[in-house]
Amino acid sequence: MGSAVSKILSRPEGFEDLGKEEICRLLLSEGADKELLFSCADRIREHHVGNEVHLRGIIEFSNHCIKNCFYCGLRRDNDAAERYRMTADEIADAAVAGAQAGLKTIVLQSGEDPFFTADMLARLIARLKDEHDVAITMSVGDRTREEYALMRDAGADRYLLKHETADPEAFSRLRPGTTLDGRIRHLVWLKELGFQVGSGCMIGLPGQTADTLADDILLLKRLDVEMAGFGPFIPHGDTPLASCTGGDVDMTLKTLAVARIMLPFTHFPATTALGTIDPEGRQRALKCGANVVMPNITPVRYKKLYEIYPNKICINEEGSIQCLPCITGIIRQSGRSVATDHGHSRKPVHGKARPQG
Ligand code: SAH
Ligand code: SF4
């Protein structure tokens, strides 16, 4: 007699329509059942998106933020944070170094910083797209639909906006002045505007249960995202959640694995946050469904200051020169290869897998 988990994982009809109860069972699996889940996710990853790992070089160009998220070290009320903004030229230089090192996607991320108007961002996007053969992902938080449209029209390909938690009460408590419905509305706008959309959530936020994590996965499924990131919540000493317990490696990996089997064509990063709480975290994620890694190519003098959470890995290495060889090594040691294309969505369009490119 197989376990309940092994029964779920041997469903002939596949896993795309798993219900909440089944998801919870998988999230709570331990021992041999958990290993079965991981190997199932690994197999599905290989079958649907192959052995290549996509690199997305991230530039953290401003740590100013008008929001006050309880979990984040960049929150407005954290007076201990030393703030910086990179100039357009500094951002372009970092992007060029990344492109010359072979990166095919550049992610521009910041706190919510109105200093960077949508016009400024659009000019920057157009400049990078004009000069380099790269995909551009924006990750600058909540903006108006018109501002998103300006970025899209300027050539941005993707947008990363995590839903953070699908529990509406927790969302409003942890992100004062905002609602889960509002965040979802932003994600829908981004889809309508033609962005490939990345979302995701933190694992181990206070009050989170397997039940709410199942809602997180179901929301990602409903939004049909092109990418989803799962990072453990890591408490930051200068925030209201300083004394909370953070997320754990196993639950992060299980969430990733369940999401992979339910969204087989979606891109999933082996997150830096997971690599921060476990030196083997990213390697383990690559074996549980992940197919993306995001090297940090922010200039060293700034990346130390982008302290969303403490003890972030790789903050003393110059990104394109030092992080890239290291990450390439991790990928090869995991028996995988580094993708050389843009890593656009592989989700089927009209029933067919998208061509690579
Ligand atoms: N300001 C933008 C993008 C930067 S924040 C935004 O909020 O969308 C990038 C991500 O960092 C957030 O989406 C959140 O999931 C993550 N994050 C913030 N604080 C964290 C913490 N303490 N531990 C782990 N991840 C955190
Ligand atoms: Fe600002 Fe993003 Fe941090 Fe929230 S998570 S405080 S929006 S940087």
**Domains within the chain, CATH numbers bracketed:** 50-338 (3.20.20.70)
pLDDT confidence bin for 213, thresholds 50/70/90 = very high
Q: What is the mean pLDDT of residues 159-178?
A: 98
Task: Identify the H or E element spanning 324.
Answer: helix 324-333
294: closest CA among 277, 316, 319? 319
Q: What is the pLDDT of residues 255-266, one digit of tens each?
A: 999 999 999 999
Phi, psi of 231 (to 5 degrees): -120, 145
Q: Is the beta carbon of 75 within 6 A of some atom in ligand 2?
A: yes
Task: Give residue 103's region: left, alpha or beta (phi > 0; psi -120 to 50).
Answer: beta
The CA distance from 203 to 74, in Å, is: 19
**Ligand with smallest separation from the Cα of 162:** 1
pTM of this prediction? 0.96
Q: Which DSSP category does 11 fall into?
A: -
Q: What is the pLDDT of residues 220-276, one digit of tens each?
A: 999 999 999 999 999 999 999 999 999 999 999 999 999 999 999 999 999 999 999
Pocket-testing residue among 61, 62, 69, 174, ligand 2, by greatest number of atoms within 8 A of Cβ: 69
Structure tokens of 190?
């981004």
The CA distance from 21 to 196, in Å, is: 30
Q: What is the pLDDT of residues 88-100, one digit of tens each?
A: 999 999 999 999 9
Atom 4 (ligand 2) nearest CA? 69
Q: Is the beta carbon of 72 within 6 A of some atom in ligand 2?
A: yes
Q: What is the pLDDT of residues 98-146, one digit of tens each?
A: 999 999 999 999 999 999 999 999 999 999 999 999 999 999 999 999 9
The CA distance from 248 to 53, in Å, is: 24
Pocket-testing residue among 64, 159, 308, ligand 1, by greatest number of atoms within 8 A of Cβ: 308
Instruction: Give strand pairing partners of 164.
Output: 201
Structure tokens of 239?
């925030």
Pocket-testing residue among 64, 67, 71, 199, ligand 1, by greatest number of atoms within 8 A of Cβ: 71
